[in-house]
Structure 1
């Protein structure tokens, strides 16, 4: 068994994520991020068609389906990011941080599109309800008699008028019920979108907390390295100072020895000179 397999085996047995599993999961995350960005681009084009001739209930339904799918993809990718974070190999840190940054950017774009969609649809519903309240009711009929001679003709035309009026009222009522159901369905879709926005926001917060914790760990490691460097530098300074003190002491000893030697030589010369005399 080579060293690489031994390291992978140790990582798996210690409860972490092996490098092989890390690379496999990292590839899945990268693919998911690209899919999220593609969906955001597609949904943005669909949102741009709101309040245009291309706008339709089917367009909104399709948009909501893509948003629901993308929200689930975001949730799954977030769980995969958590798994990747379990790999503590330092040489994989750059790749892990890049995945987190890319996922954060995709999440930001998706969240902004969600909020924009909710705002547009809420305004459309408010406008629709305001229009429904302002619709004028069909004018009532005035039961006027034009004389006894025209009573039969008046009654015939009045019956036809009332019949047409009744049919129009029924059609209007049916259309209002259909419109009301459509509005209620749109409101349910908006509530679902708002719930998804809350879920994405929670993911965003947890992702930020994870990045912050990683930053603290990196700062702690860098601080330890800096402290070690400071200690090494201080040790080197102390060694230089000790060497300098040692040299100075050696010089003082030499000077003192020279002085003592000179004094001794003078004393000897004086004694020799006196002995001869």
Structure 2
């Protein structure tokens, strides 16, 4: 069983505190994963489990990165480089979560031909990923809200009309220059508004829509639970069948003993009758 020594123990942290549990899980892997049931691929089960564990660790690592970034947003350390790092972290982690969800769906299919421990392992991994995604999604929402409150807008490239105030131009030139300044300021304000809207949309787009993924993970947990219940039901039915068979054997043995006793009694009666008849015949002949 993959990581059988971890079943029933404390939940793994997958990087949220340390990675010792992950290392222990890797060491607990079988040295030869190619030996297994007919029609069952322990190698694929091993690889999928390893990928999922690594990805859960990465999601928790991204959560810690965002947590540190959250404290810097709006402070003197806040700059465009920090915002770009947040964006790239969320983009890569969102893609990783989607890929891990697909791996879990495949793992659930693979362990259908496995044993109960392997099904429990898949159920544990699903629960761990679900917990990591929920924590990561909550951090994303906090990041998005704070970034909206502290938007970074590039400085305007418009120079304005500071250098245009010349004493030697006539009133008409001053009027034209003033109109240009107003137009430039309006364009700048419009560009600022568009830039603000674009950045807000990017912030909102970076927030992973976990609703669908959580529904998929919940469905996997339900499916895995049904599979485990089926195994337990089969074991219980087999136990009942064995007990019923033992009861039937005991009844058959008791019936056989009764029949044997009856035969012995009948044989004894027949023997006694035979002796009596023999004695009578001998007496008459004399």
TM-score (norm. length: structure 2): 0.59
Q: Structure 1: how far apart are the matches of 2:44 and 2:263?
A: 69
Structure 2: tracts of 5 or more residues without a match: 1-31, 152-174
1:1-31 deviation per Cα after TM superposition (whole angstroms, max 9, x unaligned): xxx89968974xxxx7x33343334333322
Is 1:90 aligned with 2:114? yes
> Are residues 6 and 74 of structure 1, via their aligned partners in 2, closer, same or farther at CA, if it must alter by over 3 Å?
closer
Which structure has the larger Rg? 1
Cα distance, 1:225 vs structure 2: 1.7
Whose helix proportion is higher, 1 or 2? 1
> Superposition pairs for residues 6-45 of structure 1, below 5 Å?
11=39, 18-45=41-68
Cα distance, 1:202 vs structure 2: 1.0
Match of 1:104 among 130, 149, 156: 130
SS of equivalent residue, structure 2 residue 215: helix
Match of 2:73 among 46, 50, 63: 50
Is 1:180 aligned with 2:206? no
Is 1:227 aligned with 2:253? no
Give the superposed CA RMSD. 4.4
Match of 1:116 in 2: 142
Cα distance, 1:98 vs structure 2: 4.1
Match of 2:220 in 1: 210
> Are residues 84 and 186 of structure 1, via their aligned partners in 2, closer, same or farther at CA, if it must alter by over 3 Å?
same
Cα distance, 1:94 vs structure 2: 4.9
TM-score (norm. length: structure 1): 0.61
Q: Structure 2: how far apart are the matches of 1:187 and 1:266?
A: 117
> Are residues 9 and 95 of structure 1, via their aligned partners in 2, closer, same or farther at CA, if it must alter by over 3 Å?
closer
Q: Structure 2: how far apart are the matches of 1:49 and 1:223?
A: 54
Cα distance, 1:190 vs structure 2: 3.4
